[in-house]
Amino acid sequence: MAVTKKKTAKKAAKKKVAKKTASAKKQTKKATASKKTAKKATATKKKTKKVTREKGPYDLVIVESPSKAKTIKKYLGKGYQVVASNGHIKDLPKSKLGVDIKDNFNIDLVPITGKKDKIERIQELAKGADNIFLAPDMDREGEAIAHHLAEEIGIRKKNIFRVVFNAVTKNAIIEAIGNPSKLNKEMYDSQKTRRVLDRLVGYKISPILWDKVQRGISAGRVQSVALRIIVEREDEINAFVPEKWFSIHGEMNKDKTPFEFKYYGEQANKKTELTEDDFVKGIVSDVKGKDFEVIDVKKRERKQNPTPPFTTSKLQQEAANKLGYTAKKTMMVAQKLYEGIQLRDHGMQGLITYMRTDSVRTAPEAMGELRDYIKGKYGDEYLSKEPIEYKKKGSNKVQDAHEAIRPTNLLYTPDEVRGDLEPDQQKLYELIWNKFISSQMSQAIIDQTAVTFECNGHFFKANGSIIKFPGFRTIYLEAAAEKRSKKGGDDEEEMDVKKGLLPEIAVGEKFKPTKDAQEIEHWTSPPPRYNEASIVKDLEEKGIGRPSTYASIISNIQDRGYVEKTENRFLPTELGIVVCRMLIESFPEVMNVDFTAKVEELLDKIEEGEVKWKKVLKDFWGGFEKTLERAKEEMKNLKAQLIPTGIDCQKCEDGEYHIKWGRNGQFFACSNYPDCNSTHDFKKNLDGTYTILPKNWFHEDCPTCHKRLEVKTGRYGRFVRCEEYPQCDTTLPYTIPVKCPKCKTGKFAEKKSRYGKFFYGCTSYPDCENALWSMPYEHPCKSCGYELMIVRETKRDGKHLQCPECKFKVDWEETPFYKKEQEEEAKRASEQAEQEAAQ
């Protein structure tokens, strides 16, 4: 029995050893195979340098911006790869027209410079994805990006879906991914039409302007029309003849309450305009020292309604009026609020809904939450009795496709997110928040009183009003109404509130003024020049462009040198005025406001599937082609024209400055050229006069003739040129008096990269490749001893010097350069004041 047990034990031990050996061999085999696979994968990776399929199954989501990708990735978690296209990946080529007009307007789309690697990464990720969700923005440009992505991935791939969301919130993203749709061909056709029209106008008209005006300028289908309305406003101002008019004011007092009265007319119910001096003086004389009898007292209650949440254009207008933001800045800040902000207590959150919209609608679920919020925070009396459903006048399916701009979640109050947002973001978010909250609040109730007085056959009125119940005004008041409210009401029909209430006054009472009625002389004013808010308002009303394009329209006409912003008002330059007139004369249809608005309507119809896009292009090209040929022959050659200014030359005795156009824009040149080579840069003032800008002299003299060198600006940045040009044609790069610490011989020259960014490179290049992205100063670093430091400016540290080697920082005001900067600024201001006085 014992022997049997021993044998059994031996057999079991042998089996155990055999099992362990087999297991070890198996593991060794696996490890070897794993090493081989790893080597193979590494070799492939080295060879291709491409992204391989991620571990485990995943779905791919493609959005436009990296910040949005980051937010969405946090919401979706594992099982999803989220990548950003960084805007458009394909466009028409820059070097040629890219539209084959003869071949039925076929378009040649090419990858945008620098986007090849991005496209390859997306293609590689798409290969390993189970499903692909194209999630660019929900407008036409976003739809075009989605189509371009689909084309690059492979349009026939059956697992490609289009997803859109109105807000970058967890619920909205999950809802969109769970309910994907198809690519919208009609919306893409609409975008293609707009792009081709813009390309045809820009690439066909611009070369004509180069020949006739100056190289480098351009025309745009929409921007040129925006320029036209600014130029026409300037024409109205110049043609305006001011007219004199009068008003008559006095003051009365009752129960220690002073109040103003104003002349109304010669009849109690008909206003009389005061334009004649003798007539006004007669009225003042007639009532002086006399009693005023009350003949009528009217009291009425007026109700003021709240306004809808923001559309894009209204947001741009209010941000300009209340916050002083440009349209461009408003859209940049709103974009960040939409894409997501890192909140300390709530993680990454998109705070507002999509900011490019024409709609005033609010989603039903958001409406319910808003009304509950108002009721809970402000009480029943501040909530409108019924939900207010706003409708935009003339809105169509396209314009009303999205919601109005609103907060995504009422938990994120302005106070809750304070500290997480930058100051500009906080201000804009509060504006959007207050507008949205006020949109469902109760009416404001205003008590208004109007008293009519009679004195010696003349009639006067006194008005007072007080807010009986503030309603929605507790939260928000339009900028224009707010401004008028501060100034106070004018008469009985005044729609806004004057602070204070009149004392109790009854019919038959008589008053003797505490201040006799006196005339005040006024002059009629011309229409004001456009500011950020009014230009956006006019573009919207005239149907020029779309709210999403207003910011770029305004930027473009400034960048091209057609319009300048002076004292927050848009003023057309001489170049802008001349180009505008030439375009109107040669291309009347393209420059027609109604035609531009009609094109926007056609784009909407293409999107709705009512019109074919190629038909729109054919109809446009038919007339445009003939106009182009005529313009090439008949358009005036501005290069040969000079505009006299009436300003005497500062160099010769009998010369007059004329405005000329050079390759870098407008400048003053003496009429006696070439005998007198005096030139100056200038600026045009609001009153139409010119100010000669002081010369910017270089710190070194001309190495050829030893005269002064003048700092000039060209298309590649600053350069220096001899003041005796063209007699002395010495032209040099703009250098700063800082020696290169690496080669010890070269200086730093200001240069411009191919992407338009300025940098400072050693003049000994290519022997010395030392280059810096910020301006260097000869200021040895106290930390590491490096011979120079560069100037930097950040929100956290302000303006400071930083060592490029060890990153040691010195506050700007602690450096000797700060004092020198202040002295130079004072000197420039003094010189300019002297020149203005002399002119």
Calculate ∠ Cα 368-371-377, nearest 5°. Answer: 135
Which residue is catalytic, options 354, 476, 657, 760? 354
Instruction: Give Cβ neighbours of residue 144 (< 8 Å, ≥ 6 apart).
Output: 88, 188, 191, 192, 195
Closest CA to 596 of 141, 99, 197: 197
DSSP 8-state symbol, 704: T
Distance, CA of 305 to CA of 441 (rounded, Å): 9
Q: Encoding tokens for residue 52?
A: 């391989």
Cis peptide before 407 (omega within 30 of 0): no
Closest CA to 768 of 734, 733, 736, 743: 743
Burial of residue 763 (number of CB atoms within 10 Å: 0-12, 13-18, 19+)? middle
Active site annotation includes 550: no
Contact 252, 511 (CB under 8 A): yes
User: What single-letter amino acid sits at 403?
Assistant: E
In sequence order, which ranges of 463-592 are alpha helices (DSSP H)?
479-487, 532-542, 550-559, 574-586
Distance, CA of 106 to CA of 95 (rounded, Å): 17
Query: The sheet that has 731-733: what strands, in order across it?
Result: 697-701, 708-714, 717-722, 731-733
Closest CA to 514 of 257, 250, 281: 250
Phi, psi torsion values for 36, nearest 5 degrees: -60, -45
Cβ neighbour number for residue 117 with a 10 Å cutoff: 11
The packing angle between helices 116-127 and 140-153, to 10°, is 70
Distance, CA of 225 to CA of 228 (rounded, Å): 5
Distance, CA of 102 to CA of 87 (rounded, Å): 30
**What is the number of alpha carbons within 13 Å of residue 445 lying toward its C-beta?**
8
Q: Encoding tokens for residue 330?
A: 């408003």
**Active site amino acids:** 354
